Structure 1
Amino acid sequence: MADRRRLLLAVLSSLVLLGGAAAYVVAAGRRGDAPAAAASAVDAGPGDRVLFRSTAAAGYGTVGTVARGSEAGVRKLSGLDCDRVYAAAGRGICLRPDGPLATYQLAVLDSSLRVKDTYPLVGVPNRARVSPSGNVVAWTVFVTGDSYNGGRFSTRAGMINLATGETVDSLELLSISLDGRPYRAADANFWGVTFVDDQHFYATMSTGGKRYLVAGDVAARSVRTLAANVECPSLSPDRTRLAVKEAIGGDPAKGWRLTVLDLASMRRTALAETRSVDDQAAWYDASTVMYAIRRGARGSDVWAVPADGGGAPRLLIPDAESPAALWN
């Protein structure tokens, strides 16, 4: 147990807390307050519900669920606070502060959102995912102190197999193949893991000022690049497509376009959401992608849009972020 509770990431010289988030203009008409929360217990096991983190003034940061098809209706809130949350197959991951100082932890949750185990994290929580089996959890954190980065933030991503105890403390420890050739660089950063199964995953890698979609193999301890200017992948339920974000014109300063990448043809389809989406999207179902749009420093809403490029965005869960469909 002592080994399992070691720091999941290498100790860094310092941390950076992210200040405010960029404000977004949401031209969606007048919004009401979030529906009142129900007092009953929250079930995060497989079912016809969507898990989320509340950004409503009452219960800010609390994890809850809403019924599929009635997402704007009454929400059930738990007593659990998280900065990021995700769940699959009856197991959840909660990234949250650990005490009054700028320290954080990864909490492993059961289907009733009870904390079953915790692990210390070094860095500010950014992304969280669970494999389809529920066995493997992955995290991304912001850190600072890397000598190559001039004091700006970097990212660290890792994962732990809760069934076997196997860990990848940082994806930077894996061997890299860039455009089919072995590659090694101090500035290689990873974030935004999405799982195929317990051994295979997709993620984002940045190096040399460019961003790449990578495919990873835990057993082989390796990743390989698949495409450029693709970030924060989320694998579709049928495992044939990735919902991703692309920097507009290849420049993150211009914002992000939500896109679906077909893995067989590598064809990219820009979705009908034209606002900048700086989020790791999730799949509501096989034909719909959901994602958070921020409102100022603390507010956000979960929106949904067809995955085929048609239709129009619709408000799915007001005052919410970090969604996860629990149908699996």
Structure 2
Amino acid sequence: MTLSRRLLVLTAAVLLLGGLAAALVLRAAARGDRPQPGGPAVTAGSVTLGPQDRLTFLNATPGPHRGALTSVPAGTPEAPRTASDLTCQRFHAAAGTGVCLRSTPGALAQDNRALIVDADLRTVRSFPLAGTPSRARVSPSGRFAAWTVFVAGESYGAAFFSTRTAIVDTRSGALEPDLEKFAISMDGREYRSADVNLWGVTFAKDDDTFYATLGTAGQTHLVRGSISRRTVTTLAQNVECPSLSPDETRIAYKKRVQRGAALWREHVLDLATLREHPLAEKHSVDDQALWLDDRTLAYALPAEGAPDTTDLWTVPADGTGAPRLLAPGASSPTRLG
């Protein structure tokens, strides 16, 4: 075969492979915009945060409503989903107020914002975020909202990460932009360190007390905080992403079970005795669990065969029973009503 013929054949092969690759990319992109066969039905409609027996979550199934806040009856989470126009990476709501964390990646910058929305999902306040959305919570009264973002690193399992956590008064708009500025009491003494991180806020009903994780010197601690006094006090070690029970007697949290690895097991801590017990879920849970009621916790796990998607699971809070699938292709649950 002559040199010119070899070059002609090579050129044709390159063009053919390039066309095939482009076709596969376009096909995958198109498939990602369409509901997948056998997945939950999702249709556009009206979603509100009013007092009703509903479950809301962010829809993670492929299709035009991916990332949208969706709603289903709390008693039948497998029912067809109603999708709103609000899209978020993290969401939580209480008492008709919601917080939506948005991230819009760009080639050179990100437009990350926290939106405070009313019961009809209308934005009433908007705040810039200092990094990538991680955790979001609204106080039981709706008076306060909190969010955590990564400002360095993208995972709590990373060798190095830095967080920024803020609390906002949803009524006045007054913002505490960085909880690391709060005074810290550890073992009865004032504590200061340049490596302090605070993340994963959960609120009590008194519109002042909150709990969170404090990370410093290679250790994590559960802290109880006061918004009005701008203080946090350590209570227990190896506690991450706490979630206060509706009766305010227990904290659900993820406990690191292998040092140096991103492996956690969900536990529940009794606040009166500081005794803990593991839950029946054996998989590593990297989430801030939500109490559906005083007996049941919900949390997200990576979907099998789809690492960029999560499913919602539930487990009894007393350590008995077994995990149960609540909603496939979903994250950031909120129980309304």
TM class by shorter chain equals: 0.7 to 0.9
Q: Give 1 or 2 for the bigger CA radius of gyration.
A: 2
Higher RCO structure (Cα 8 Å, ≥6 apart)? 1
Q: Which residue of structure 1 lines up, in the alignment, with residue 70 of structure 2?
A: 64
Asked if residue 306 in structure 1 is aligned to residue 316 in structure 2, the reply is: yes
Which residue, out of 168, 172, 180, partners 1:172? 180
Asked if residue 34 in structure 1 is aligned to residue 39 in structure 2, the reply is: yes
Residues 144 and 151 in structure 1, CA contact (< 8 A), matched pair in contact too: no
Letter in 1 for 2:333: P
Letter in 2 for 1:178: M
Q: Which residue of structure 2 lines up, in the alignment, with residue 242 of structure 1?
A: 251
Residues 125 and 173 in structure 2, CA contact (< 8 A), matched pair in contact too: no
Asked if residue 43 in structure 1 is aligned to residue 48 in structure 2, the reply is: yes
Asked if residue 76 in structure 1 is aligned to residue 82 in structure 2, the reply is: yes
Specify whether residues 119 and 205 from structure 1 end up closer, same or farther in structure 2 by C-alpha distance, changes over 3 A only.
same
Residue 252 of structure 1: how far off its partner (Å): 5.3
The whole-number CA distance in structure 2 between the counterparts of 1:134 and 1:54 is 23
Normalised by the size of structure 2, how large is the TM-score? Answer: 0.83
Letter in 2 for 1:312: A
Specify whether residues 107 and 124 from structure 1 end up closer, same or farther in structure 2 by C-alpha distance, changes over 3 A only.
same
Cα deviation digits, residues 232-269 of structure 1 (max 9, x gap): 011111111111000004x2515110111111111111
Which residue, out of 203, 206, 209, partners 2:215? 206
The whole-number CA distance in structure 2 between the counterparts of 1:252 and 1:323 is 29
1:89-100 maps to which residues of 2 (within 5 A)? Answer: 89-97=95-103, 100=106
SS at match of 2:228: coil
Aligned residues between the structures:
292
Measured on the aligned residues, the alpha-carbon RMSD in Å equals 1.9
What runs of 5+ residues in structure 2 fail to find an aligned partner?
1-35
Q: Hey, which of these two has a bigger chunk of helix by percent?
A: 2
Asked if residue 325 in structure 1 is aligned to residue 330 in structure 2, the reply is: no
The whole-number CA distance in structure 2 between the counterparts of 1:108 and 1:293 is 26
Specify whether residues 272 and 252 from structure 1 end up closer, same or farther in structure 2 by C-alpha distance, changes over 3 A only.
farther
Specify whether residues 41 and 125 from structure 1 end up closer, same or farther in structure 2 by C-alpha distance, changes over 3 A only.
same
The whole-number CA distance in structure 2 between the counterparts of 1:183 and 1:315 is 42
Extract structure 1 runs of 4+ deviating beyond 4 A.
none
The whole-number CA distance in structure 2 between the counterparts of 1:106 and 1:278 is 22
Query: Percent identity between the aligned chains?
Result: 48
Residues 59 and 68 in structure 2, CA contact (< 8 A), matched pair in contact too: yes
Specify whether residues 312 and 173 from structure 1 end up closer, same or farther in structure 2 by C-alpha distance, changes over 3 A only.
same
Letter in 2 for 1:313: P
Letter in 1 for 2:310: S
Letter in 1 for 2:226: D
